[in-house]
Amino acid sequence: MSRIAYVNGRYVPHRDGYVHIEDRGYQFADGCYEVVAISGDTFVDAGLHLKRLRRSLDALKIAFPMTDAALTVVMRELARRNMIREGFVYLQITRGVAPRDFAFPAKVKPSLVMTARTKTLIDPRLLSDGIKVITIPDIRWGRPDIKSVALLPNALGKEQAKQAGAVEAWQFDRDGNVTEGTSSNAWIVTKACEVVTRKANTDILNGVTRLGLLHVIAEAGLRFVERPFSVAEAKSAPEALQTSSTNFVLSVVRIDDTPIGDGKPGPVGQKLAKLYADYAASGAQDRT
Ligand code: PDD
């Protein structure tokens, strides 16, 4: 079966999915995106993704190209055409095509592209073994809360992690506090069994999985705190976790050269991974 993409109003074979060389996304990274997990018939927390997309577009002053309802129809149709049962849809909106000029063009139509891909969101090996992360300085711009396609620092960090045999790089700010992973949010579990993650202000992306997990934690009657934590605190925590739409909840068992806890996924992480997986599959997360 050949893959299908959606490009500016048309469903096209994936290999023919092109945008113009003067698209501002290509020249200025002038656009934003979302990655929405597909679990069976469910787009996991689609409402929260569309809300965040609107927020990113508003921050960049890019017009929303279609209603949420229309966007959802395209997402469903793309998942259907690509026969995705488990995976994700990627959607990207840029300011559009215009002669290269830094200031915004007067009249421009946003470009909207979508792709969909099959992917194992709950990887049994990653779940049972946990993952290794490295730590790197956060060198990104001042608004990582906007889900912008300007991801070069993130790509550099991920490559550095890969070279070090790790799955992710956790970034830290000037105070030595962890901001987030290059494509995930970072968490620790304290000795007092509190689940800790950084407050979502302009320093991090407010992950949709992060929000879903906070909901799951509250429902399960566990305690959580939104506060900064340092790399040193993370290394001495009994458990560490990360969340993202593409891997849900994973236990972090090594940070740089330091094993976390006994170097295996801990009980809180395993429980949360299971509870979140149930939540994602339930189709019950119609929260906006
Ligand atoms: N990235 N922080 C960053 C910098 C991210 O890029 C992501 C997700 C997250 C987690 O957000 P969410 O739970 O909404 O997926 C946090 C996606 C998966 C990506 O770029 O592929």
* Active-site option among 51, 61, 109, 147: 147
Specify which residues 250 forms β-bridges with.
242
Mutation test residue for ligand 1: of 39, 205, 272, the one with most atoms within 8 Å of CB: 205
Give the separation between CA 143 and CA 84, rounded to whole angstroms. 33
Q: What is the pLDDT of residue 177?
A: 98
210 lines ligand 1 (CB under 6 A): yes
Residue type present at position 138: D
Catalogue all structural domains in the chain, each as residue range(s) with its CATH number: 4-118 (3.30.470.10), 124-281 (3.20.10.10)
Kindly report, residue by residue over 131-182, the tens digit of the pLDDT.
999 999 999 999 999 999 999 999 999 999 999 999 999 999 999 999 999 9
Rounded mean pLDDT of 74-93?
97
164 φ/ψ angles, rounded to the nearest 5 degrees: -90, 5
121 lines ligand 1 (CB under 6 A): no
Rounded mean pLDDT of 43-71?
96
Kindly report, residue by residue over 269-278, the tens digit of the pLDDT.
999 999 999 9
Q: What is the pLDDT of residue 288?
A: 46
208 lines ligand 1 (CB under 6 A): yes
Per-residue pLDDT at 216 exceeds 90: yes
Q: What is the pLDDT of residue 8?
A: 97
174 φ/ψ angles, rounded to the nearest 5 degrees: -65, -20
Q: What is the CA radius of gyration of the chain?
A: 19
Residue type present at position 85: R
Rounded mean pLDDT of 32-59?
96
Give the separation between CA 165 and CA 151, rounded to whole angstroms. 21
Q: What is the pLDDT of residue 23?
A: 98
**199 carries an active-site annotation:** no
**H helices of the chain, where?**
24-28, 46-60, 68-81, 124-129, 152-163, 208-219, 231-236, 267-282
**Closest atom of ligand 1 relative to the 209 alpha carbon:** 13
Rounded mean pLDDT of 276-286?
83
Q: What is the pLDDT of residue 282?
A: 87
Distance 170 CA to ligand 1 centre (A): 12
251 lines ligand 1 (CB under 6 A): no
